[in-house]
Structure 1
Amino acid sequence: MATVVDSSDPKSNFPIQYREVNYLNCSSGWKSWFFTLDHKRIGIMYLIGVTCCFFLGGLFAVLLRTELLSPERVLMGPDTYNQMFTLHGAIMTFLVIIPGVPAAIGNIILPVMLGAKDVAFPRMNLGSFYLWLFGAIFFLAAIVLGGIDTGWTFYTPYSVQHGNPAIIAALLGVFILGFSSIFTGLNFIVTIHTMRPPGMTWFKMPLFLWALYATALIQILATPVLGITGLLLVVENVFKIGIFDPALGGDPVLFQHFFWFYSHPAVYVMILPAMGVISEVIAVHSRKHIFGYRFIAYSSIAIAMFGFLVWGHHMFVSGQSRVVAVIFSAITFSVSIPSAIKVFNWLTTMYKGAIHFTTAMCYALAFLFIFSIGGLTGLFLATLATDVHLHDTYFVVAHFHYVMMGSSLVGLFAAVHHWWPKITGKMFNEYWGRIACLGVFLGFNLTFFPQFLLGTRGMPRRYYTYLDQFQGLHIMSSCGAYLLGLSSALMAATLIYSVYRGKKAPANPYGGASLEWQCSSPPPHNNFDHPPLAGDPYVMESVVYNEEIGGYVPVECQGDNKQSVTASGENEA
């Protein structure tokens, strides 16, 4: 494959495809990584950390499902089981899903998508990563200090265990992670406001940037509430001050209000970036301009706004007044409107498009199916009459995982496969990528769809044992978990193998029209030699496939001269 110079060279026929010196190898040694200010390297470190936490949390999930194969003891006792599902939920939520797309993929792609050299505050960006790392260490220290059995929501009075070092460590971890999230959101907002290239107005930004912008607003406005709540709980545990503990005159329901005022917006911190990824993947791999651009952009902001108004639907059975419950129910139904706008616009984008069933596109299609089920089942929980029956059952577990794991993490998987050639400069094996995607899709649905049935039949969540009549559905769910775990491992193995044995990736392997596809794969340290000029990021006709380089090039680069020039300046026949 020919490797050619930058299109800024008038003698060059094609844009540069691959640089021998890029951000991955421009400097070496552990200090060049741990003290780097390069947003791409910071994103890679986030991605590695998130992946490790994902497999640790997944291991806990597999152990939980193994225990639930039988109503009798299989692997662990009830106390260990309680600690296991607490750690599974906390690790997956705070260490994987929340930072997954924004911190990892966003850090790598956002500046390149803007045509910028870096984010607005590179040192703050590095500090955000180390805050995440230290928060993760505090969280994992809870395992060594005896474990926590409060559930991932840290509900009081379960979390008011005076002097328990494991709970204090976990809560301090949440507090530190909150600052990491706030700094990342602030950085992204300033970067998008101040570092857009010439020609990129607000309505010429890629929709992934709109999604990250809306997410950053939530991170800045909602996360301080969680941090303060966690700190108050630490103070209560250490100094025995009655804030949430009813034994000391505190109010445990107040904790629920504080927690869900953050945690429901946090749901959109998890899902909005994934929605932005799906907008990019569907447009590029359908080879068609995104349909309803402004509606999708505005719907991201609308979802962020609605997210602050619906926390009370988690508390329908907590004793709140009927009037308040009806209001929260009505607003919860309203939040489905902007979500539906996105889904219908994605489907219309694919209509009559030239769909390429790449691995990334397969994950996007899986996202549409899973997110639709997650959204529709949320309507039952928004309805007061049905929520009373379904509350605290496996129906809630299934709904939560369809929206959070099935949508947010599948969106992350789509992002990783879509931008993997750009991030690493290597192509992965599409066959094994699609096999892993099929396994993830089937395994996920086999795991969690039976849990809808368990919930409607009255199976409570978080129970160590259960009636014999539920065993068949539990076995089915556990088998799905095994398939999901194996498929996730296959996905990771396929990507890691490609780093060492994969073919060199062209600059634009999938035909995207946004700016990140205009630099080489992987990008150089400064991303671009010259500030690029932005246009419509979804005009797919602006690039055409070129067999010589195995990727897409701008239409104006297609000429009669097939000679290309290497990055070192040597002519290639």
Structure 2
Amino acid sequence: MSAATPDHTIPTPGDHLRHADRLARLTRVWANGPGIVGQLTAVNHSTVAMRFIVTGFAFLLVGGLLSMFMRLQLAWPGLDVLDPQRYAQFVTMHGTTMMFLFAVPIMGGFGMYLVPKMIGARDLPFPRLSAFGYWCYLFGGLFLYSSFIFGSVPDTGWFMYTPLSDSTYSPGKGADFWLIGVTFAEIAAVVSAVEMITAVLITRAPGMDLRRMPLFVWAMLVTAFMIAFGFPPLILASILLEIQRAFDFAFFEVARGGDPLLWQHLFWLFGHPEVYIIFLPAAGVVSMVVQTFARRPMIGYTWIVLALVATGFLSFGLWVHHMFAVGIPLLALAFFSAASMMVAIPTGIQIFAWLATLWAGKPWLRVPMLYIIGFFVVFVCGGLTGVMLAFVPFNWQVHDTHFVVAHLHYVLIGGLMFPLFAGLYYWLPLVSGRMPSESLSRSGFWLVFIGFNLAFLPMHVTGMVGMPRRVDTYAMELGVHWLNLLSTAAGFVMAVGVIAILIDVVLCFVLGRRGVENPWQAGTLEWAMPTPVPTYNFASVPQIESRYPLWDNPEVVEATRRTDGLLGEAHDDRRELLGTGIQSGRPEQVIRISDSTWLPLCAALVIAVLLGGFISSQYWLSILMLAPLIGLFLHWAWTTGDRHAPAEIEIAPGLRLPTQAAAQNAPGWWALVGTLLIDGSLFASLVFAYFYLWLNAPAWPAGGAAVMAWTPALTALAMLALPLLAAWRGPVALAAGRQRAAIVWQGVAIVGGIAFLALHLPALWAAVGAPQVHAYASVVWTLAGFHAVHVCVALLIGGFTALRIHHGYVDAVRRLESRIAAGFWRYTVAIGVITWAVLHVFPRWL
């Protein structure tokens, strides 16, 4: 790194001019376009993150408004503020809004805004993907709420349990709005997971190895992996239920071999990890605030990191925690009960580390710390009731009562909203350059804290005496009417507190007192930037030597604002990031990223029209939209690289690095890895569904279906050897400079894929028949269709890569796209072999 160290000699007037010119150039290159067009096409991570945060708070207000109507209905027995159907609709939309449209997206927005700044990066590695995720989130939420306009509001609860949500018992379009709208919005979560994993692993500042990452960054990295594995089960469940509702498949219908409990298993495989997907980023916020206001480094840093990883891992073994009352064998209940209690251990480690840090430091009681204290009180209470629910006998007694409602809100509001508001006030001076009103800030805290506890603490009592949740009234004889009246009144107090906080934040941007930079004297890298933060974050990428660079080396502030360091020059007027080693943090590559573009918005709009055609049963429109959608994504991919881009760039005197197309550890490769993790989780969930239905069936195959004969099955399998061979030989030929041979190998892979589809699908139809006959046929065709879709995508990637090689975008040095195509073909063949074994081997031998 000696060659990359900036020259600290006395600056001359010429140096000042060069510095000013470079800053002006960076500002111009990284700026959003002017006006509304500039906002619609912006892809900068700060801009997109602020959209997520503002939209998340908007959905919080909408979901809170729904809850106020629900509380008015429950204030006294026999009220008719909402009729039973409308009450069920509000319960469904309130839970859905808070879980899917507020909690996960808003913490994702915080991560999107802060992580690049904390790790010393100028942006995220896939800015168009971030913008695309936002538009999917916004349109998914609007899609869901458009159900009010069409008079088809979902009313089956935010769990969407079958068979209640099946077309037999929910014949309208309400459940379809939920299934499609939520799945559309979840695109934002899964693409943000890919973005976050790649950003944290390969775009950290030089010197920031894994041991020096801020705890919030660790929390976001673990959360991203949890999203990659946790969201696909729900996405699959939503797809299966929508297919059943639209095309009469039989996954959840008992009369045709299905099982309604399959939905619960898939939903809670997502649902319980989601609690920790919400909590872990909030825990990261707590760590950042605690160490700053304790005015000392965090005690037990390594233990907190291990606790974050352990929490993420254990959360996937708890899904049956929510299914204790469905008739599961006692041995299984004992296992999941123990697992539910075990997850309290890593959470307790973090809490004790935070308390020890405060004890050893000199705590500074400002508004962010008030919310941290509120978090300790509320979240610990929620955790204790969670341990109570982990005991099976107690769980049976309070299942589906208001005790569970109280527990859920103590965990989610305690574990999310209090840290969220702490983080909001903590980083508000960084974002706005101003300080909020101290009196209004403190008033908002006390209104929320007192209102929340008075609203939800009584629900523990009403639940234990038997008041059921999701029911619009209760009997006077139950004796809980005064407690419900108190909960309703306190709920409005809390609502006033939330509104006061949001007003305070808005007034801070408009009327707030101009603050000094880094008013809390924090030690992490995001506070090295001037306020408000420039669009490029850092004029030069800093060199990091410790966990708390601003405490240990205050000169890093000045170094990040000079343009004589790493990437201080905007080469070719392009936006560039510095790519570093996964573990070591050493510079390895220059990553060129996209500037403002219409592509994310256009792609999301086309998907919205496609889904609109599906929900209105205008399937021709959905099919018609596939062509522009594929065209947009192909154009997106085509504009990713530049045929004339240099293979290397000098980022500092004497230090040249390859661009991402020529780098081994390129962001595109990590995007493929992240995408395949998500897709693999989706595939594993589908295989789980197959075996689950099999274990509950008296015979398999069932419904008059047969297993495909060996000859066509083996012949089809043999065709997959061609893409596998091409995935091996194609990159070898390209690396040797034989572009023509590499194109031929792409053609071989395409021929093999087409031959597999042509041989396998007709033979499968002859053996299994129509998918509507039985759950066996439904799940077999879904598995086969899942793999067939991947083969089709691989065909597109193969043809695309061949064109890129032919036109000179890919060559012996810039081999990234060939590696990606080969990697996707290998994955497609792998899941093809597993699918083939599941469909043609296991039914014969087991």
TM-score for the superposition, normalised by structure 2: 0.61
Aligned counterpart in structure 1 of residue 456 of structure 2, from 448, 451, 470? 448
The reply to whether residue 176 of structure 1 matches residue 184 of structure 2 is yes
Supply the distance in 2 between the matched residues of 1:192 and 1:285 (Cα, whole angstroms): 26
1:556–1:456 distance in 2 versus 1, CA, 3 Å: closer
Return the alpha-carbon distance in structure 1 between the equivalents of residues 46 and 9 of structure 2. 26
Shift of 1:218: 0.7
**Structure 1 unpaired stretches of 5+:** 1-6, 13-18, 544-552, 558-573
Contact 2:31–2:535 (8 Å) recurs in 1: no
Alignment of 1:121-520 (within 5 A): 121-145=126-150, 146-161=152-167, 163-246=171-254, 248-468=256-476, 469-520=479-530
Q: Does the CA contact (< 8 Å) of 1:422 and 1:505 recur in 2?
A: no
State the AA in 1 paired with 2:424.
V
* Cα distance in structure 2, aligned partners of 1:377 and 1:27: 51
The structure number with the bigger radius of gyration is: 2
Deviation of 1:555 (Å): 10
What residue is the counterpart of 2:83 in the other structure? 77
1:37/1:125 contact within 8 Å kept? yes
Partner Cα separation in structure 2 for residue 215 and residue 389 of structure 1: 33
**Per-residue deviation, residues 468-497 of structure 1 (Å, max 9, x unmatched):** 211011011111110110000000111101
Shift in alpha-carbon separation, 1:28–1:426, aligned structure 2, 3 A? farther
Q: Does the CA contact (< 8 Å) of 1:358 and 1:434 recur in 2?
A: no
More off after superposition, 139-148 vs 177-186 = 139-148
SS in 1 for 2:328: coil
**Where in structure 2 are the equivalents of 1:518-533 lying within 5 Å?**
518-533=528-543
Paired residue secondary structure (1:513): coil
Distance 2:253 2:468 in 1: 25
Q: Does the C-alpha gap of structure 1 residues 26 and 377 become closer, same or farther in structure 2, counting only changes over 3 Å?
A: same
Q: Closer, same or farther in 2 for the Cα pair 1:221/1:73, shift >3 Å?
A: same
Q: Deviations over 1:447-479 (max 9, x none)?
A: 111111111112111121112211011011111
Q: Do 2:153 and 2:177's aligned partners in 1 also have CA atoms closer than 8 Å?
A: no
Could you say which residue in structure 1 is the equivalent of 2:831?
none
Whether contact under 8 Å (2:528, 2:556) holds in the other structure is no
- Cα distance change of structure 1 residues 507 and 32 upon mapping to structure 2, 3 Å threshold: farther
Matched, 1:116 2:116: no
Identity %: 32
Deviations 1:241-264 (A, max 9, x none): 221133554211111001000111
> Which residue, out of 83, 87, 97, partners 2:93?
87
Give me the whole-angstrom Cα distance separating, in 2, the residues matched to 1:307 and 1:446.
Answer: 30
Alpha-carbon shift at residue 9 of structure 1 (Å) = 10
Residue pair 2:375, 2:414 contacting (<8 A) in 1 also = yes
Q: TM-score, normalised by structure 1?
A: 0.90
User: Is the contact made by 2:32 and 2:39 (CA closer than 8 Å) also made in structure 1?
Assistant: no
- Matched positions, count: 537
Question: Residue 761 of structure 2 aligns with which residue?
Answer: none
Instruction: Tell me the equivalent position of 1:30.
Output: 36
Structure 1 position 554, deviation (Å) = 6.1
Question: Given that residues 22 and 522 in structure 1 are in contact (C-alpha distance below 8 angstroms), is that contact kept between their aligned partners in structure 2?
Answer: no
Alpha-carbon distance in 2 for matches of 1:115, 1:61: 41
- Which residue of structure 1 aligns with residue 624 of structure 2? none
Q: Distance in 1 between matches of 2:148 and 2:238?
A: 18
Tell me how far 1:536 sits from its aligned partner: 3.1
- Mapped to 1, the partners of 2:255 and 2:59 lie a distance apart of 36
Residue identity in the other structure for 1:116: A
SS in 2 for 1:66: helix
Give 1:15's aligned residue.
Answer: none
| Mapped pair 1:59 → 2:65 | yes
The correspondence of residues 9-20 of structure 1 with structure 2, limited to 5 A, is none
Secondary structure of residue in 2 paired with 1:55: helix
- The 2-side partners of 1:335 and 1:282 are apart by 23
- In structure 2, what is the Cα distance between the partners aligned to 1:314 and 1:363? 29
- Determine if contact 1:446/1:477 at 8 Å carries over to the other structure: yes
1:388 CA drift (Å): 0.8
Structure 1 residues 532, 80: closer, same or farther in 2, change over 3 A? same
Q: Distance in 2 between matches of 1:10 and 1:514?
A: 28
User: Residues 541, 513 of structure 1: CA spacing in aligned structure 2 closer, same or farther, 3 A cutoff?
Assistant: closer
- Distance, in Å, in 1 between the alignment partners of 2:332 and 2:377 is 33
- Whichever residue aligns with residue 479 of structure 1, its letter is A
Cα distance in 2, alignment partners of residues 245 and 143 from structure 1: 28
Deviations 1:372-406 (A, max 9, x none): 01111101100011111011111110111111123
Query: What code does the residue aligned with 2:67 have?
Result: A
Contact kept in structure 1, 2:92 and 2:158, CA below 8 Å: yes
**Does the 8 Å contact 1:284/1:540 carry over to 2?**
no
- 1:211 maps to a residue whose letter is A
Report if aligned partners of 2:295, 2:363 keep a CA contact under 8 Å in 1: yes
Residue 313 of structure 1 deviates from its aligned partner by: 0.9
Alpha-carbon distance in 2 for matches of 1:455, 1:393? 5
1:422-468 residue CA offsets vs partner (Å, 9 max, x unmatched): 12222111221111011111111111111111111121111211122
Distance 2:10 2:506 in 1: 37
CA drift of 1:506 comes to 2.7
Cα distance in structure 2, aligned partners of 1:426 and 1:9: 34
Q: What is the SS of the residue equivalent to 1:351?
A: helix
User: Which shifted more, 426-435 or 229-238?
Assistant: 426-435
Letter of the structure 2 residue corresponding to residue 488 of structure 1: V
Contact 2:73–2:473 (8 Å) recurs in 1 = no
**2:462, 2:549 → 1: CA distance?**
47
Higher relative CO (CA 8 A, sep ≥ 6), structure 1 or 2?
A: 1
Distance 2:288 2:256 in 1: 52
Pairing partner for 2:546 from 536, 561, 565: 536
Aligned equivalents of 1:556 and 1:192: distance in 2? 21
- Counterpart in the other structure of 1:44: 50
Measure the CA separation in 1 of the matches of 2:255 and 2:557. 74
Instruction: Give the aligned partner of residue 789 of structure 2.
Output: none
Mind listing any 5+ residue stretches in structure 2 that lack a counterpart?
A: 1-6, 13-22, 559-846
C-alpha contact (below 8 Å) 2:155/2:174 kept by paired residues: no
